[in-house]
Amino acid sequence: MKGRKRAVFWVAAVAAVGAGMVAALTSGTAARGEPTAHLSAGASPQPELYTSPLARGKREGYLWGVTADVRRYRPLKRVCLFVTTVPPPPPGQDYVQSYDSSTCGRLTQPSESVSMLMGFGEGDASAGVLVATVYEPSVRKVSYALVDGGTKVIRTKLRKTMRPGDKGVPKFRYVAFVLDPGSCVDRITTYGGDGAVIAREKAEPGC
């Protein structure tokens, strides 16, 4: 994981905005301190860098969001993945700290991916592990073999291009989900649309 940062947010703001706060975080402004103008998909002229909100959710009081940065009119030679989490406020405190991490890579072949795992809490207080990965468009399904012998199969989602401001943004697929506390990924297998195996890889150590 790269680029781990912290930012302080008042509990009142969290309570007022709720899940909408993660939407703001995943716009690329609050999490990375970048100006909104150069990330806005509808700005004119269109910026080369495009931040694509992918997913957001809530897990046992934690808010989370995932975005990806790509460049318009270019192959996916550099893709940056960002994960932001906001923990529940501690009793008696009027602020919380958000956490964000990022990693970058390339998606020029079906076997390549840009991936990140981020835990919610630690030890006995763990609320699970957020798994986020972006793939080249031909990857349609991902199978996660867990250390305990279980298997989790996730179908990738295509980043939708529906707005005029999305012009020139390259297509890619992604997954974003939360594993239960104590779960640990051992091996990852990706599949194409015809069910053929694209790649098999050992998960990064850290369980």
| 191 within a domain of the structure (yes/no) | yes
Edge-first strand order for the sheet with 95-105 is: 2-10, 95-105, 79-86, 62-71, 49-59
Task: DSSP for 31-47, please give it.
Answer: TT---SGGG-TT-SSPP
Does some domain include residue 207?
Answer: no
What are the tokens at 54?
């992918």
- Inside any domain, residue 120: yes
* Residue 125 backbone phi and psi in degrees, to 5: -90, 5
Q: Is residue 175 part of a domain?
A: yes
pLDDT at 109: 93
Nearest CA to 99 out of 134, 69, 62 is that of: 62
pLDDT digits (tens, 9 = 90+) for 97-107: 888 899 999 99
Please list the rounded mean pLDDT of every run of 10 residues in the chain (207 residues). 43 38 44 34 64 91 92 89 89 82 94 89 72 95 93 92 75 93 90 95 74
Is residue 43 domain-resident? yes
- DSSP H or E stretch at residue 12: helix 11-17
Here the contacts of 124-127 (C-beta below 8 Å, separation 24 or greater) are: 126/181, 126/182, 127/59, 127/60, 127/61, 127/62, 127/181
For residue 75, the model assigns a pLDDT of 82
pLDDT, position 61 = 85
Structure tokens at 100: 């964000």
What is the pLDDT, as a whole number, of residue 26?
44
In this structure, what token pair is assigned to residue 90? 């501690």
The CA distances from residue 117 to 2, 76, 87, 122, 179, in Å, are: 11, 21, 16, 14, 10
Condensed to tens digits (0 to 9), the pLDDT of residues 94-136 reads: 778 888 899 999 999 999 999 998 888 765 557 788 999 999 9
- Residue 74 in domain: yes
- The tally of domains found in the chain comes to 1
Domain that holds residue 173: 2-202
pLDDT at 124: 53
Return the pLDDT at 207: 61
pLDDT at 181: 84
For CA atoms 99, 104, 107, 110, the dihedral sign is negative
d(CA 31, CA 28): 6
